[in-house]
Structures are given as structure tokens and as C-alpha cells.
Chains A and B, each alone.
Chain A
Amino acid sequence: MQASSSDAPLSAADERRVRAISNALKDEPGALLPILHAVQKELGYVPSAGVPIVAECLNLSRAEVHGVITFYHFFRTSPPGERTLFICRAEACQSMGAVALESHAKATLGIDFHGTTADGKLSLEPVYCLGNCACSPAIMVDETVYGRVTPQRLDEILG
């Protein structure tokens, strides 16, 4: 369900939103990343059907826009769950049990990284450092960072 909707045509409203964002930012120097960020902030992801609109606006090829979207880990091309859980996999967090935390999250949620739970509530993403390394392991739920997260604490945070 999630996968197919990313290739679906945009609703008229979403098409207008992508076009409005692209037009508003197109004169910024190096406008593509700011546009992609704004689209993702607005829609939750960068739909493939939005690529031609952005490309046309910046006078780029679709391939160029696609290439940029897929280069950066942060941009997603399918809709996220209602919340996104980022688990840090970097060394400082590993030194404090991040590997066990990651296994626990995957097992309890029943999904792997880049997956979304069947009820559409939560997406799981890896992240490589949140700058919270003195209080590892760290996670981020949407834009809220949590430190010293044990598996039990993770369950509480996710409710």
C-alpha cells in the first residue's frame, strides 16, 4: 500500500503545493535542496510524481532531480508513518548498547529499517549521530531527541 502510493499521481492539491514551493524558492542560489526539504516538510516525503514539476521549474532534467533525491539519506520517496523513529547506529551509541536497542525496536515493531508498521503509525530509520554522544544511546522521534535510551525506555517513549 505504502509503496504503490509513492508512484501514484499527485492529487491536484498536492501538485499545486509542490509547484508553489518550487516557484517560491527557485531563485535561491542552489535551490534544489531547499525545495526538496520544503516539499518533504509539507507532504512528509518527496513523491516521484513531484519530480517533473521541480525539474521543470529549475530547468533541470528529471534524472538530475531524481539523482539528488536518492543521493541523500534524509529524503524519502514514500509516505512516512504518523511518527518516525530514528535510532542512532554510530560508534558512541554502540558503546552503550545501541545494537541491542536496534534489535529490540525491530523485533517489537516487526519492521526493519526504512519500514513502516502495518497500521501506518511508525516508520523506523537509522541515523548516524544525533550529537547526543555523551548520553548514549540516542534516538529521535520526529524532531525530539532522547538520551540514555534503554529498550524499556524506548517502549515507554513509543507508548
Chain B
Amino acid sequence: MAGSKQRVFVPQDTTARSLGADAVADAILSEAAARNVEIELVRNGSLGLYWLEPFVEVEIDGVRHAFGPVTPGDVPGLFDAQWLEGSAHALGHGRSAEIEWLASQRRLTFARVGIVDPLSLEDYRAHGGLVGLERAAAMDGGEIVEEVTNSGLRGRGGAAFPTGIKWNTVLKAEGAQKYVVCNADEGDSGTFADRMIMESDPFVLIEGMAIAGLAVGATQGYVYIRCEYPQAIRTMRAAIQTAREAGVLGPDVLGSGRAFELDVREAAGAYICGEETSLLESLEGKRGMVRYRPPLPAIKGLFGAPTIVNNVISLASVPIILAKGAEYYKDFGTGRSRGTLTIQLAGNVRRGGLVEVPFGLTLRELLEDYGGGTASGRPIRAVQAGGPLGAYVHPDQFDTPLDYEAFAKIGAMLGHGGIVVFDDTVDMAAMARFAMEFCALESCGKCTPCRIGAVRGVEVIDRIVSGENSDANLVLLRELCDTMVAGSLCALGGMAPFPVLSVLNHYPEDLRARP
């Protein structure tokens, strides 16, 4: 360590800060100054062990040692206990990389998240960044698309569509101008993986989008980020500026002779704009009304031009596929679900956070081994998987493996990987009602089943619960759900009934007249 200051890491991620990481960082700096101890404080991203945030790490001989959750009041005691020398402390967890919760994961897409300084391009390079883009810069578009296709990567936004096939359509489409659009309108409750990438490893998204641009001949990209993520917006804008200055973006991407520019666009609080055609309308400066398809966005997308629309995690998975090859990525996973899955454990859970594992772990293993049960200590009664349009999964179904097909088989979905845990105090009728209420609030209004159906859904559930013709209204609710599923234009109206149907099927005791 001679010659350099000892490094202490305090995450700048939104969740860490929401639990007081900034005050902890200040306390560490002032305590170190008061004791004449020289340290270098690094504001890294979060490793996603959110149950231990604020999660502070001390680097000793190149190895990081973890402490958490740390409050400002703990800081003098940590110095007293010689934490910088690695002495034992009640808040200590030993070497970060050896914490079982983390060590048992397989971090591919999140390899650098929580490790690097988010805005340091040198750090990014030192941890394997830009290798994929350098390789892509020497390949032609068809070769890049083939590599992504062979990896088996499927869209991580929710629909799980094969990414390579989408790219190939854009590659083959005629158009003087093509676009790459990143859907960073991460609106599903229980999800934060996109936010973590943007706040903690923004360059991986920039690299993934640049590779996409080179692959299909698109020269302009947009990251459409929800306005509820102010820090992600700031970090992405700063990282794009750095990438531009370093020639990663611009008229000559890494000396390839090919251009790719990238800009951030702020969303404005409409959940429907996570639907890709609605997102494109919004990017064009319009109301986020869902478009009819065909034509597919890959053929006629942004401003009528061929457009790749991919989720953050999908695009952030591309650099490692190009860097290490399709086979490397494909070797992880099971069946048609290849690679790793980024699960976000949320809600009433004891150990919530980011879990990146190969597909195939069961839901029960996830909830018990990683989650450690509920935060409240009460039994788990339900789990909502895949966001507000995803079914509630009953404990009887917890042995289902985490892969797209297995979840589809039980009428549920993994979607973007959000897993929200509820304990036994949950009122499932209220959750069913909320699904309809949310759909009514967020419907773009273009199609009748969604616009009117969701409003009627709330009313019918209210009648059931208040005892007004409950039996007849239960039949009506099912019929209404069928109509919305079959008749809606997009996934909002088409899937909002899924949580409702799961309550009807698995929690009928809640959805009935209340005494």
C-alpha cells in the first residue's frame, strides 16, 4: 500500500443513499480527518446486497472487506476497532467476495456493478470493459448479429423475445437511417436491475448500444429513462459525455470508421411507455399511445425508421457475449432460457437485493436461501413475479424453476425478474383490485377492453367484496378478464387480468363478500 492511500468504498447507488450512505460517507471522511488517517473514499455502485446497505468496504492489501449496515453513529466505533487493519467488528462480514449470498451467484451482466467507480472509463477498461466493442468494431454487421443470435440471449424486458432475431430484422430492413433505442422505462414494481446498471456500470450499457449500432448500421441511439430515476439520468448523461470524449461514441467508434451517437431522453411518468411502440411515440414527442402492429418497430420504428428496441439488461448483456463469445454465455442456463437471470428480490423479504444466477434455481430456493423469508418474520403468503402484470404465485407453486417456460406453464411469468414477497397479512382482494386500478390509471385509452375493462374491473371487485351479488359478479369478473386478455391491443390490458385471475384461482377465500 506504500505510496497510495487506503481505499474505502461507500456506494452512491439510490438505494444505498436512501438508507443514509451519503451521511455515512461524510462521517467516514470527517472521522478519518480528525484522526489524521489518510484514506481515499470511492463512491462505487452497489453490489446489490441491499439488506446490508449502507454497505461499506475497506480495501486491505487489494482485498475488500465488508461492513454493514453502517450508520454514521457506527463510524467512530469502527475506527476505534481498527477496521482499516481488518480487525473484527460486529458489523464486519469478512471479505466481500466470500459472503455466501454473493459468492453463490454468477455475476455476468453485473460483473462490474458495485466493483468499479461508475464514471471512471479507466476502471471500466481495467475490469474487462470495451473488449466486446473492440471485437465488434472489426466484424461486419452480420457477424455481430450471428454472435448474439448464437448466444441464445432473449429480451430481458419481459417478453423474452430472442434478441438476435430482432437485430437481424433491423439489419435486413432497408433504411437510410436506423436507430437503437434502449427501453429504460423500468416501471415494474419490484424491479431495479436497469437502474443499478445505469447508476453503477453505465459504460456497459453504452458499449452494448454501440455494438447494436455497429451490428445493424444504426448511427443514433436513445436511452429512454424514467423520470423517477433522477440519479440514473445524471449518471448516464455524464458517462455518455465521457464516452464521447474518449471516442467510444461519435463519428468513428473506436477507430472503426463507423459512427454511433447516443442521447438520454427523460420519460414523464407513464407506465405504458415501457411498451415499446408507446415508447417510440413518446420519443417522437407525442402522447404514448400504443401502435398497431404490424409493422414491427424493427421495420418501421422511431420516426418510421428500422429500430432496435431493447431493454437495459438485454443490451448490457451484449458486451460479454462479444467479449467471450456466444458459447461462453450459452453454457449458462437451462432449456431455451440461456445465460443468467437477474432476479430482483423485493417487498417483504429479509434479504432483498440483486441475485444474478443461471436459469433453473427454484423459486423456493430463491426465497429461502437468498431471501431468508419475510422481513416481518411472518410466513410468506404470496409472491408477485414479473411486475404489476404478473400473476401472484402461491406457496404450493414455489418449487417451479426460474425459467421462462416453467413459469409460463403455471400461468405466471418471470418478466423483468422482479419478485415481490408478501406475508400472510396481505389482502389478496385488495391486490386484485389494485391490478385493475393501476391498469385504469395507466391505460393509454386506445383500445376499449383496457380503457373501460379496467374501470369495470375495479367496480366488479368492489361489488364482490361488499356482498352485492357476489357469486354472479365472480362469474362476471372472469368473463371480463377473458375479454381483456383476448381483446386488448397490448400487454397492459392483455395482462393486467393475470394477477386478478391468480387471486381468483389461488386465493378464492379472499375474493368474496366480507362480513
Q: Tell whether B266 is near chain A: CB-to-CB under 8 Å.
A: yes
Q: Tell whether B300 is near chain A: CB-to-CB under 8 Å.
A: no
- Chain B residues whose CB sits within 8 angstroms of the CB of A92 once the complex forms: 189-190, 346-347, 418, 420
**Smallest CB-CB separation from A139: which chain B residue?**
B18
Q: Tell whether B330 is near chain A: CB-to-CB under 8 Å.
A: no
CB–CB A147/B347 < 8 A:
no
For window 220-261 of B, CB contacts with A under 8 Å fall at 227-231
CB–CB A68/B434 < 8 A:
no
Q: Tell whether B218 is near chain A: CB-to-CB under 8 Å.
A: no
CB–CB B388/A30 < 8 A:
no
CB–CB B227/A74 < 8 A:
yes
CB–CB B19/A91 < 8 A:
no
- Chain A residues whose CB sits within 8 angstroms of the CB of B186 once the complex forms: 129, 131
B425 to chain A, nearest CB (A): 9
- A135-159, CB under 8 A of B: which get 1 and which 0? 1101010011111100000000000
For the complex, give the distance between the alpha carbons of A78 and B511 in Å: 40
**Smallest CB-CB separation from A140: which chain B residue?**
B228
Stretch at the interface among B207-215, B268-276, B403-411, B454-462: B268-276
Name the contact of A91 in the complex, choosing from B189, B228, B230 (C-beta under 8 A): B189
CB–CB B268/A75 < 8 A:
yes
**Smallest CB-CB separation from B17: which chain A residue?**
A145
For the complex, give the distance between the alpha carbons of A51 and B265 in Å: 21
Q: Tell whether A130 is near chain B: CB-to-CB under 8 Å.
A: yes
CB–CB A95/B228 < 8 A:
no
CB–CB A95/B285 < 8 A:
no
For the complex, give the distance between the alpha carbons of A29 and B268 in Å: 17
CB–CB B228/A127 < 8 A:
yes
Name the contact of B270 in the complex, choosing from A29, A72, A147 (C-beta under 8 A): A72
- Chain B residues whose CB sits within 8 angstroms of the CB of A73 once the complex forms: 268-270
For the complex, give the distance between the alpha carbons of A138 and B284 in Å: 31
**Smallest CB-CB separation from A73: which chain B residue?**
B269
Known: A90-B189, A133-B347. A30 touches B285 (CB 8 A): yes
Name the contact of A37 in the complex, choosing from B17, B51, B268, B431 (C-beta under 8 A): B268
Size range of the chain A interface in the assembly: 35 or more
Q: Which of A33, A129, A144 has the most chain B CB within a 10 Å cutoff?
A: A129
For the complex, give the distance between the alpha carbons of A32 and B188 in Å: 26
- A84-114, CB under 8 A of B: which get 1 and which 0? 0010001111111000000000000000000
Known: A34-B265, A71-B270. A132 touches B344 (CB 8 A): no
CB–CB A94/B434 < 8 A:
yes
For the complex, give the distance between the alpha carbons of A58 and B282 in Å: 16
A135 to chain B, nearest CB (A): 6
For the complex, give the distance between the alpha carbons of A33 and B253 in Å: 29
- A42-75, CB under 8 A of B: which get 1 and which 0? 0000000000000000100000000110011111
CB–CB B266/A37 < 8 A:
yes
CB–CB B285/A134 < 8 A:
no
For the complex, give the distance between the alpha carbons of A37 and B384 in Å: 33
A58 to chain B, nearest CB (A): 8
CB–CB B438/A128 < 8 A:
yes
CB–CB B347/A95 < 8 A:
yes
Known: A91-B190, A91-B420, A128-B438. A34 touches B228 (CB 8 A): no
CB–CB A95/B230 < 8 A:
no
**Smallest CB-CB separation from A137: which chain B residue?**
B347
Q: Tell whether B112 is near chain A: CB-to-CB under 8 Å.
A: no
- B347-381, CB under 8 A of A: which get 1 and which 0? 11100110000000000000000000001000000
Q: Tell whether A39 is near chain B: CB-to-CB under 8 Å.
A: no
- Chain B residues whose CB sits within 8 angstroms of the CB of A93 once the complex forms: 189
B436 to chain A, nearest CB (A): 13
Q: Tell whether B293 is near chain A: CB-to-CB under 8 Å.
A: no
**Smallest CB-CB separation from B234: which chain A residue?**
A143
- B434-466, CB under 8 A of A: which get 1 and which 0? 100010001010000000000000000000000
- Chain B residues whose CB sits within 8 angstroms of the CB of A132 once the complex forms: 14-15, 18, 192
- Chain B residues whose CB sits within 8 angstroms of the CB of A129 once the complex forms: 186-189, 191, 228
Chain B residues in the interface with A (C-beta under 8 A): 14-15, 17-19, 50-51, 53, 186-192, 194-195, 227-231, 265-271, 282-288, 303, 344-349, 352-353, 375, 384, 388, 418, 420-423, 426, 431, 434, 438, 442, 444
Known pairs A34-B265, A91-B190, A145-B17 / 10 extra A-B pairs, C-beta < 8 Å: A30-B284, A32-B285, A33-B285, A74-B227, A128-B187, A128-B442, A129-B189, A133-B192, A134-B353, A138-B18
Chain A residues in the interface with B (C-beta under 8 A): 29-34, 36-37, 58, 67-68, 71-75, 86, 90-96, 127-136, 138, 140, 143-148
**Interface CB pairs A-B, < 8 A, 13:** A33-B268, A33-B282, A33-B283, A34-B265, A37-B268, A68-B285, A90-B190, A90-B388, A91-B431, A92-B190, A95-B426, A133-B352, A135-B15
* Shortest Cβ-Cβ A-B pairs, 8 listed: A134-B352, A32-B285, A90-B189, A74-B269, A133-B346, A72-B268, A147-B18, A73-B269
